[in-house]
């Protein structure tokens, strides 16, 4: 979820659970960064020059679903809904402790009911919380909350860790169809992004109510304290005309509230827990940072077996120097020590995690020619009919792909590429901006590293941005090809089913589904449900499966829907903001065969942190081979008679792997490898070569 504190106006291109309360001991053409100033605005809104998928019609089964918190109507294609488990007591909508709002008694410090009003992160409990439906400080209607908000996911063995603004819930997924709550860890302090490595569990904290001891009482204000008055609100920009549609709503200008008094008890940064005893996690370290940790990314350096690294993406206001030494804010041209315009890197010694500390705060937005710290997008729009893009003074999410030595940063006003061959000193090697993007939010690589899919969280996650009137390239995925370490925009993809004005919806977190021969991602769209997109052809993404529910409330806006949907060892897990956790599996449809699903299930992760993206290598067996054959068959890339002969030869080897049958099959594989040269597409050629290699290895191993 997007959380912003500043924005400029300039437009310049560049079950039986244990409840644990933890103690401390225990497309228009891409505009590359650092270009010349923006040309004069066009006389009319520009049209996209790259493909964007069409919007679905009103006959889509997702349109018009019945609303409800637990009894909403459902629509699915290519997806089977296996299980759902409500949030536990203390986190659930009917909990007496309150929701995410730090102003509510027992509230947990997540964004208040107007999630796109980040200024509220500085509110104090004394100020109170406006009722749902009352105007927010940016002019937006407030939305209803349903307990404390579920956030991101991490996996280890048969355990699922679900972050939440109030802490972390751990589930037993040994039998995904009967998912069970194992432990609830109460520890407020922000959206609670999680990752796991061995016996260590990491958790982000950014909100001002976070305490070093994980206490739920927040930070008491000094006796007689009177909060400074709010600054006057800046004017809200006029609605923006868009190509091919009506005017899009303008994003209200943000006004950060003054921070409360400094406190030695406040915690904003990354917590580290020892989960050797998963029912009794113990906090072993709490690394403070100037902006806190909105999200974080785990980096495992294959050259360093003694340490892991955490990249902190902080988006909150810079805390006072009286609270944490060295923390100052401001314009980098006037204050070169500002804690803006950087990320922080924590080094965690595995033998002594209690010694974890920040070892570098790299200035990854610096202009390489002028040395200016604010060297990327300065904030504002890109001309008539374009988005107002946030200033690049932070990253929201960084996806590490250690096998390639690269990271993709979704950094507010830019998408960037980092060389992470030296984990402590990442180097920016590419930066792109997009006039259709409001806030660069997250990223995923294709498994072969030839593509990067970025997301835009237009509206901050709390607004309806998938309506029939909303542009299909705003709040969407932008799919880039990656060649010679350069990013080139190829297309946009947006969940196609129009949603109602009561449903917060925009592109959010997803992960790859490891189907060999294809680039497929399952992705959360808040109340737009989950969408499975095939972006194998970067220039023409297509939806191949979906699941959706009706609005959480058909009469008013409510904060709900999927925060993250990730594939893990044969199943898709969804962190649902209002209700709890959902479990799904893929089922065959016209775009996906059972053989392809079976091949994906050949992949097994011992751990999965999606922002530390693993490189998948499929086993060389006939299960994987049959997936490639189905793909070649679907694309009519091989003569049907040849496919039939290949399938018959494989069946013979399955039945009796003698030298004759194996030799015949290996000969067919060799011929297939030669045929790849004349394949009609590069994708089919790659599949033929992969199929030939799998058959050669698998058949040979049977003798």
State the pairing for strand pair 194-197/18-21: unpaired
Ranges 227-241, 250-264, 607-621, 630-644: which has the least confidence:
227-241
Phi first, then psi, for residue 653 (nearest 5°) are -65, -35
468-482 in b/e form (b: 16+ CB < 10 A) is: eebbbbbbbbbbbbb
Q: Is the model's pLDDT at 574 over the cut of 50? A: yes
CA distances from 442 to 1, 327, 454 (A): 10, 26, 6
Q: Which residue has the higher pLDDT, 235 or 453?
A: 453
- Tell me the three state secondary structure of residue 159: strand
CB 270 within 8 A of CB 250: no
Which of 159, 94, 144, 87 is CA-nearest to residue 114? 144
Which of 545, 594, 596, 601 is CA-nearest to residue 569? 601
- In this predicted structure, what is the pLDDT of residue 549? 98
- In this predicted structure, what is the pLDDT of residue 691? 97
CB 343 within 8 A of CB 313: yes
User: If pLDDT is split at 50, 70 and 90, which confidence band does 127 have?
Assistant: very low
d(CA 660, CA 218) in angstroms, rounded, equals 74
User: If pLDDT is split at 50, 70 and 90, which confidence band does 469 have?
Assistant: very high
CB 8 within 8 A of CB 413: no
Q: Mean of the pLDDT values across residues 62-86? A: 97
Assigned CATH for 26-124+144-221+238-608: 2.130.10.10
Residue-wise pLDDT tens digits, 603-653: 999 999 999 999 999 999 999 999 999 999 999 999 999 999 999 999 999
d(CA 28, CA 371) in angstroms, rounded, equals 29
428 C-beta neighbours (distance < 10 Å), count = 22
Question: Mutual orientation of helices 622-634 and 640-655 as an angle, nearest 10°?
Answer: 170
255 C-beta neighbours (distance < 10 Å), count = 18
Phi first, then psi, for residue 458 (nearest 5°) are -65, 125
d(CA 350, CA 355) in angstroms, rounded, equals 9
- Tell me the three state secondary structure of residue 563: strand
Helix (H) or strand (E) holding 644: helix 640-655
Q: Mean of the pLDDT values across residues 360-369? A: 97
Q: Is the model's pLDDT at 233 over the cut of 90? A: no
- In this predicted structure, what is the pLDDT of residue 31? 37
State the pairing for strand pair 486-493/51-52: parallel
User: If pLDDT is split at 50, 70 and 90, which confidence band does 61 have?
Assistant: very high
CB 188 within 8 A of CB 147: no
- In this predicted structure, what is the pLDDT of residue 37? 33
User: If pLDDT is split at 50, 70 and 90, which confidence band does 140 have?
Assistant: low
- Tell me the three state secondary structure of residue 340: coil
- Tell me the three state secondary structure of residue 478: strand
Which of 639, 638, 640 is CA-nearest to residue 684? 638
Residue-wise pLDDT tens digits, 305-363: 999 999 999 999 999 999 999 999 999 999 999 999 999 999 999 999 999 999 999 99
- In this predicted structure, what is the pLDDT of residue 485? 96
Residue-wise pLDDT tens digits, 147-172: 999 999 999 999 999 999 999 999 99
d(CA 74, CA 130) in angstroms, rounded, equals 32
Q: Mean of the pLDDT values across residues 494-513? A: 98
Which of 438, 463, 318 is CA-nearest to residue 379? 438
d(CA 73, CA 48) in angstroms, rounded, equals 35
- In this predicted structure, what is the pLDDT of residue 241? 62
Q: Enumerate residues 6+ apart whose C-beta is below 8 A from 658.
A: none
Residue-wise pLDDT tens digits, 173-222: 999 999 999 999 999 999 999 999 999 999 999 999 999 999 999 999 98
Q: Is the model's pLDDT at 293 over the cut of 50? A: yes
User: If pLDDT is split at 50, 70 and 90, which confidence band does 255 have?
Assistant: low
Q: What is the rounded average pLDDT for all residues in the chain?
A: 87
Q: Enumerate residues 6+ apart whose C-beta is below 8 A from 223.
A: none
- In this predicted structure, what is the pLDDT of residue 238? 65
Token pair 């609270």 is found at: 323
d(CA 263, CA 122) in angstroms, rounded, equals 13
- In this predicted structure, what is the pLDDT of residue 251? 62
Q: How many residues does the chain have?
A: 703
3-state helix, strand, coil in the chain (%, to 5): 15, 30, 55
d(CA 229, CA 97) in angstroms, rounded, equals 29
Residue-wise pLDDT tens digits, 378-429: 999 999 889 999 999 999 999 999 999 999 999 999 999 999 999 999 999 9
DSSP secondary structure, 209-262, as one string? T-BTT--SS--PPPTT--PPPPPPPPPPPPPEEETTEEEEPPPPPP-PPPPPPP
- In this predicted structure, what is the pLDDT of residue 250? 62
Please report, for the chain, the start and end positions of each structural domain, with discontinuous segments joined by +.
26-124+144-221+238-608, 622-700
CA 590: distance to chain centroid? 28
637 C-beta neighbours (distance < 10 Å), count = 19
CA distances from 423 to 80, 242, 267, 300, 309 (A): 40, 41, 25, 9, 7
Q: Enumerate residues 6+ apart whose C-beta is below 8 A from 71.
A: none
- In this predicted structure, what is the pLDDT of residue 702? 79
What is the reported pTM? 0.89
Q: Is the model's pLDDT at 8 over the cut of 70? A: no
Per-residue H/E/C for 675-690: HHHHCCCHHHHHHHHH
- In this predicted structure, what is the pLDDT of residue 667? 95
- In this predicted structure, what is the pLDDT of residue 100? 53
d(CA 110, CA 526) in angstroms, rounded, equals 17
User: If pLDDT is split at 50, 70 and 90, which confidence band does 5 have?
Assistant: very low
Ranges 15-24, 157-166, 481-490, 681-690: which has the least confidence:
15-24
Q: How is residue 401 written in tokens? A: 């792909």
Widest CA span of the chain, in angstroms? 91
């Amino acid at each position: 979820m997007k959380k912003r504190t500043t924005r400029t106006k300039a437009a310049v291109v560049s079950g039986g659970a244990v409840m644990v309360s933890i103690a401390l001991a225990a497309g228009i053409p891409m505009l590359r960064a650092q270009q010349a100033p923006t040309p004069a605005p066009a006389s009319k809104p520009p049209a996209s020059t790259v493909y964007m998928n069409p919007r679905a019609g009103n006959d889509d089964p997702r349109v018009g679903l019945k609303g409800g918190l637990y009894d909403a109507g459902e629509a699915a294609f290519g997806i089977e809904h296996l299980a759902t488990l409500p949030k536990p007591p203390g986190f659930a909508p009917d909990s007496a402790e309150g929701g995410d709002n730090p102003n509510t008694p027992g509230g947990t410090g997540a964004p208040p009911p107007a999630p796109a009003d980040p200024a509220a992160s500085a509110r104090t409990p004394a100020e109170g919380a406006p009722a749902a439906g009352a105007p927010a400080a940016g002019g937006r209607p407030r939305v209803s909350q349903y307990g404390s908000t579920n956030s991101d996911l991490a996996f280890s063995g048969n355990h699922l860790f679900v972050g939440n603004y109030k802490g972390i819930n751990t589930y037993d997924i040994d039998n995904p169809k009967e998912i069970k709550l194992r432990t609830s860890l109460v520890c407020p302090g922000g959206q609670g992004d999680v990752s796991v490595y061995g016996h260590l569990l990491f958790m982000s904290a950014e909100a001002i109510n976070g305490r070093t001891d994980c206490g739920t009482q927040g930070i008491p204000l000094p006796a007689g304290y009177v909060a400074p008055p709010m600054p006057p609100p800046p004017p809200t920009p006029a609605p923006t005309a868009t190509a091919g549609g009506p005017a899009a709503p303008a994003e209200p200008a943000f006004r950060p509230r003054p921070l409360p008094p400094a406190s030695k008890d406040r915690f904003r940064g990354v917590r580290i827990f020892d989960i050797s005893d998963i029912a009794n996690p113990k906090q072993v370290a709490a690394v403070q940072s100037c902006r806190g940790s909105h999200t974080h990314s785990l980096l495992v350096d294959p050259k360093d077996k003694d340490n892991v690294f955490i990249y902190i993406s902080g988006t909150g206001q810079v805390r006072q120097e009286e609270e944490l030494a060295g923390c100052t804010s401001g314009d980098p041209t006037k204050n070169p020590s500002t804690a803006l315009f950087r990320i922080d890197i924590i080094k965690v010694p595995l033998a002594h995690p209690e010694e974890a500390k920040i070892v570098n705060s790299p200035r990854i937005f610096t202009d390489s020619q002028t040395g200016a710290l604010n060297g990327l997008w300065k904030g504002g729009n890109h001309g008539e009919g374009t988005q107002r893009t946030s200033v690049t003074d932070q990253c929201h999410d960084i996806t590490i792909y250690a096998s390639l030595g690269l990271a993709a940063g979704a950094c507010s006003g830019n998408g960037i590429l980092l060389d992470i061959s030296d984990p402590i000193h990442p180097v920016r090697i590419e930066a792109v901006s997009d006039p259709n993007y409001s806030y660069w939010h997250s990223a995923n690589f294709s498994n072969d590293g030839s593509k990067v899919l970025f997301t835009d969280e237009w509206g901050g996650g709390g607004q309806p941005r998938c309506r029939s009137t909303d542009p299909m390239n705003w709040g969407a995925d932008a799919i880039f090809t990656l060649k010679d370490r350069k990013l080139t925009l190829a297309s946009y993809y947006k969940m196609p089913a129009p949603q109602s004005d009561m449903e917060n919806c925009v592109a959010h977190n997803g992960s790859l589904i490891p189907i060999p021969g294809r680039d497929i991602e399952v992705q959360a769209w808040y109340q737009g449900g989950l969408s499975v997109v095939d972006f194998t052809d970067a220039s023409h993404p297509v939806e191949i499966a979906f699941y959706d529910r009706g609005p959480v409330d058909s009469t008013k806006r409510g904060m709900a829907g999927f925060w993250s949907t990730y594939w893990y060892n044969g199943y898709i897990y969804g962190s649902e903001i209002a209700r709890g956790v959902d479990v799904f599996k893929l089922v065959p449809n016209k775009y996906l065969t059972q053989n392809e699903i079976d091949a994906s299930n050949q992949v097994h992760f011992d751990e999965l942190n999606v922002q530390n993206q693993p490189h998948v290598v499929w086993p060389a067996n006939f299960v994987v081979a049959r997936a490639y054959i189905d793909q070649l068959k679907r694309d009519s890339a091989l003569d049907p008679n040849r496919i039939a002969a290949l399938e018959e030869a494989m069946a013979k080897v399955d039945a009796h792997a003698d030298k004759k049958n194996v030799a015949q099959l290996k000969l067919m594989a060799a011929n297939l490898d030669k045929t790849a040269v004349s394949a009609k597409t590069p994708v089919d050629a790659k599949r033929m070569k992969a199929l030939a290699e799998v058959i050669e290895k698998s058949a040979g191993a049977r003798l």
